[in-house]
Structure 1
């Protein structure tokens, strides 16, 4: 694009390569990296958590305090990730802790204040650093107050006047709901009247503040943008998303193929590429290594994999009631994940009954995640909701056919075999029921039993899909330009 270069500040609470807890971090690294590749002036802002490697020795660019109450002291130190400059906002009282958001499953009691401060400082630092971005791109509830402060606190300031804000919704189930009491340090909230953020007389949500004040709102897939306008899909914020529907834009996340590519994946026992011979040999070697690793018999059988957080969102509760029925067939299943202890206990029970066919590994294990992608024939993602999802994209890259529920980004990225056999890349079901999932599992198993050559064709088709970030980044640039 021969259009004018944009200056962009990307504000996020976590960034892959520095510190990560989920998919937001992947996007916060890959999108700025792609924008940089498209010759944009893009920089990142993140809290200077003490767990970020080497952060204590980073160069101090600024030693200052918020110009507005509560006048909190802070520093800005500089680091970088994937060539993108990073402004890390150091404030010991908020970010020198063992974790980012919570300890022992208990959220920090001052999270409202911590992330309100981070949002305020992301703007406060800009004139002091002489960086005047045209676009400020906030992400999820942690930075929901960035568009709000830009609009309410800085709108009459010449330095900020021409700036526009965007907020990305990676998962609307997390809204950052807090009481006015928790935000008393910030003058705007001391009035106890912030209609842009209020959900009751006593409580506000930071996500709502961002959605009501940003110039553009972005959902991480086109289908998720539509779902946000429904009561169920928005988890109770449909009114706000419908109010802003003209500015709501769905863009499917890209995939960082530098980490997920079977040709170059350093975790794999055997690398392979998208040709029939290479793929068959590669998947066979990786399947045997996987079976060995998790203690399943090494045999030539349809292998189903699943790597996820054990939560209701990921659809584990659709799988559990039908597991015994499915495992009557000649199959193997490997599930790797941590999360809800109740779901974990139920999976362990089933694994104890079907030790020859089902292995459950209760761990967050990156190497094993890569082995499951490479060694399985099918990958399970029966999610209740899924704003974008990345595992279905990784699976396709590895020639592992995703079995997904047709929601959010899963619907936008996987083509169902029954709907469109020649372009199929997996299997899709829509009803949120265990029976619908079982029927789909059996559809895939039947194809594997009756026509393995057709399964191989689908696997190669899946491997040829390309969800690279550059395409997504072009869409983000269009959205930024429309905001301006």
Structure 2
């Protein structure tokens, strides 16, 4: 089977969140038995230089190159440059629209950039004659509408990674979608008076997936549907929740070259202690006690991630022996709060603004607990990374977190600590239970059990395969 994925992110080239990790690890697994291609933008700030093959492909179909519109001229001057990574063929969309960017999001004219990219991905799928076209999130959703309206449609799948971001724009800004080479009827994509790219993907794809069963159920009801739950309910028969997996080569404490000391379940205590000691030295906190619980937090500092709830719970439970290491960036107010804590309470709190892949691995390896206070979480990957590194996750009961972490009363089935979202008291009590578990002999049982959990892509790959076959059946 020939599969083309279209995405704005792909690790290690473009990474802003879990989408990059998810797609890189999924495609690596798929490439063991299928022909797998990935289309992504070629931005100036790539995280790694691609291994180019020397081949390139047009971004415009010959039948659409007959007019001289602005859109056609942009696409005529653009190309896909081919590269390869772990058996996956990568196609970088080389265009003036993206090459001046040092990051993928947060720029003006995103509605136009990603629409151009979406058309180019659609054209590439036709040129490569793939069996399945798999688009990810709103940035590539217009390609699904093009696929649906094509005289030669390719079976399509749309994966929703985060419904909170929908790519909705005023119709006056998206008039070009009615012109060459799009020629789309955009009225069905109307949501609250705007052209909603996410809705276009939901209505157009043969099959829809999201990244956990729990999140699927949540999005079928408001407010977690962010206004699109009715639309998703109309497609409920074609809507699946498939839990993400992780790259067990990239995230593996036995051979992780980014951490200070490798370890496994048989020597996890020594491994944790050495990694904690070296981490404290690197962040300039060598005076912190090694026998106190270390809680790691990594993520985008956005409303979704629930950091204001954590800040309140932290202040309410300052008497606890926990130390905290936070890695992330985003909301300026949250960043300022974390900076103040890092300066005023250096013996308890450390904050690193930004994202650092190596530091993320080191925090996972050194931490005793990993906190995810999300208000909603489509899947989450860090709780799975934490399991593999013997780091007990403390998570809110939402989405993929409740699918992967269970606070069972039976110690042999306990895989973490769970609290209610947006509830300061519940999170505070969870931190108290973490303290009790840290000093309990039961911790050894929990750690050894979670390090044996299998979060690889083997099972999930088969689930996606089933979705692809359903998409093909619907297209025939």
TM-score using structure 2 length:
0.91
Matches within 5 A, 1:46-445: 46-52=40-46, 53-54=48-49, 59-63=54-58, 65-66=60-61, 67-68=63-64, 70-71=71-72, 72-73=75-76, 74-92=78-96, 94-102=97-105, 107-127=106-126, 129=127, 131-152=128-149, 154=150, 157=151, 160-161=152-153, 163-187=154-178, 194-201=186-193, 203-275=194-266, 278-294=267-283, 295=285, 296-418=287-409, 420-445=410-435
* Unaligned segments of structure 1, at least 5 residues: 1-5
Deviation at 1:214, TM superposition (A): 0.6
Aligned length: 459
Two-structure CA RMSD over aligned residues (Å): 2.1
Once the two structures are TM-superposed, the CA of residue 76 in structure 1 deviates from its matched residue by 2.3
Distance 1:57 1:482 in 2: 34
Could you report, residue by residue, the CA deviation over 1:250-273 in whole angstroms, capped at 9, with x for unpaired residues? 000000121211111112221101
Change beyond 3 A, Cα 1:15–1:363: closer
Deviation at 1:34, TM superposition (A): 1.0
Kindly indicate whether structure 1 or structure 2 has the higher relative contact order, using CA contacts under 8 Å at least 6 residues apart.
2
- 8 Å CA contact retained: 1:31, 1:473: yes
Deviations 1:170-192 (A, max 9, x none): 11111011122222223269999
Q: Specify the alignment match of 1:9 in structure 2.
A: 4
CA contact (8 A) 1:18 1:81 kept: no
Could you tell me how far apart the structure 2 residues matched to 1:55 and 1:336 are?
Answer: 27
> Alpha-carbon deviation of 1:432?
2.4
Structure 1 pair 54–402 and aligned structure 2 pair: CA distance change class (3 A): closer
Give me the whole-angstrom Cα distance separating, in 2, the residues matched to 1:305 and 1:91: 39
8 A contact 1:16–1:25 mirrored in 2? yes
After superposition, the Cα gap between the structure-2 partners of 1:100 and 1:181, relative to the gap in structure 1 and judged at 3 Å, is farther
Change (3 A) 1:249 1:456: same
Structure 1 482/191 Cα, relative in aligned 2: closer, same or farther at 3 Å?
A: closer
Alpha-carbon distance between aligned partners in 2 of 1:479 and 1:456, rounded to the nearest angstrom: 39
Q: Displacement of 1:59 after TM fit?
A: 2.3
Q: Is the 8 A contact 2:207 2:239 kept in 1?
A: yes
Select between 432-441 and 18-27 the one with higher mean Cα deviation: 18-27
Provide, for residues 259-304 of structure 1, a one-character-per-residue CA deviation record: whole Å limited to 9, x for no partner. Answer: 21111111222110111xx111111111112233331423311221
Q: Give the superposition deviation at 1:57.
A: 6.6
2:130 match: secondary structure: coil
Q: Deviations over 1:39-64 (max 9, x none)?
A: 11221112233444556976243346
Q: Could you say if the C-alpha distance between residues 215 and 304 of structure 1 is closer, same or farther in structure 2, counting changes exceeding 3 Å?
A: same
Q: The residue matched to 1:282 in structure 2 has which SS?
A: helix
Give every structure 1 segment of 4 or more consecutive aligned residues whose post-TM-superposition deviation is greater than 6 Å. 189-192
CA displacement, residues 357-378 of structure 1 (integer Å, 9 cap, x when unaligned): 2222323222222222111111
